[in-house]
Amino acid sequence: MSAAFLTLLYTPSVYDHQMQSSSRFVNVGWIWDKTSPDPRYVSSIGVQWEDVYRTIENLNGGNAWLYKPDVKALREKLKLPVGSCELAVPLKAKARLYSVDRRREAFATILHSASEYVCGAITAAQSIRQAGSTRDLVILVDDTISDHHRKGLEAAGWKVRIIQRIRNPKAERDAYNEWNYSKFRLWQLTDYDKIIFIDADLLILRNVDFLFAMPEITATGNNATLFNSGVMVIEPSNCTFQLLMEHINEITSYNGGDQGYLNEIFTWWHRIPKHMNFLKHFWEGDEEEVKVKKTRLFGADPPILYVLHYLGLKPWLCFRDYDCNWNVPIMREFASDVAHARWWKVHDKMPKKVQRYCLLRSRQKAGLEWDRRQAEKANFTDGHWRRNITDPRLKTCFEKFCFWESMLWHWGEPKNSTKKNPVPGTPTASLSSS
Residues that bind Mn ion (CB under 5 A): 199, 201, 230
Radius of gyration of the chain (CA): 28
> Is 26 exposed, middle or buried (CB count within 10 Å of its CB: 0-12, 13-18, 19+)?
middle
Least distance in angstroms from the C-beta of 281 to Mn ion: 11
Least distance in angstroms from the C-beta of 382 to Mn ion: 24
Least distance in angstroms from the C-beta of 316 to Mn ion: 13
CA distance 211 to 232: 9
Are 65 and 9 within 8 A, CB to CB? Answer: yes
Of all residues in this chain, which one has the CB nearest to Mn ion in the complex?
A: 199
CA distance 230 to 313: 16
Task: Supply the DSSP string of 30-44, one letter for each residue.
Answer: EEE--SS--GGGS--
Least distance in angstroms from the C-beta of 52 to Mn ion: 56
Q: Which is nearer to Mn ion, 202 or 407 (CB)?
A: 202
Q: CA angle, 295 as apex, 371 and 355 as ends, to 5°?
A: 60
Least distance in angstroms from the C-beta of 243 to Mn ion: 24
Least distance in angstroms from the C-beta of 27 to Mn ion: 41
Q: Which is nearer to Mn ion, 136 or 199 (CB)?
A: 199
Q: Which is nearer to Mn ion, 112 or 365 (CB)?
A: 112
Residue 330 has a CB neighbour count (10 Å cut-off) of 10
Q: Which is nearer to Mn ion, 85 or 232 (CB)?
A: 232
Least distance in angstroms from the C-beta of 120 to Mn ion: 9
> Is residue 159 helix, strand or coil?
strand
Least distance in angstroms from the C-beta of 199 to Mn ion: 4
Q: Which is nearer to Mn ion, 87 or 118 (CB)?
A: 118
Question: Which sign, positive or negative, has the C-alpha torsion 236, 238, 239, 244?
Answer: positive
For 31-54, give one letter per residue: b (16+ CB within 10 A) or e: ebeeeebeeebbeeeeeeeeebee
Q: How many helices (H) and strands (E) does the chain have?
A: 11, 13
The conformation of residue 319, written as its DSSP 8-state character, comes to -
> Can you list the positions of beta strands (E) in 2-46?
8-10, 30-32
CA distance 183 to 262: 10
Q: Which is nearer to Mn ion, 201 or 235 (CB)?
A: 201
Q: Which is nearer to Mn ion, 42 or 335 (CB)?
A: 335
Residue 146 has a CB neighbour count (10 Å cut-off) of 12
Q: Which is nearer to Mn ion, 99 or 177 (CB)?
A: 177
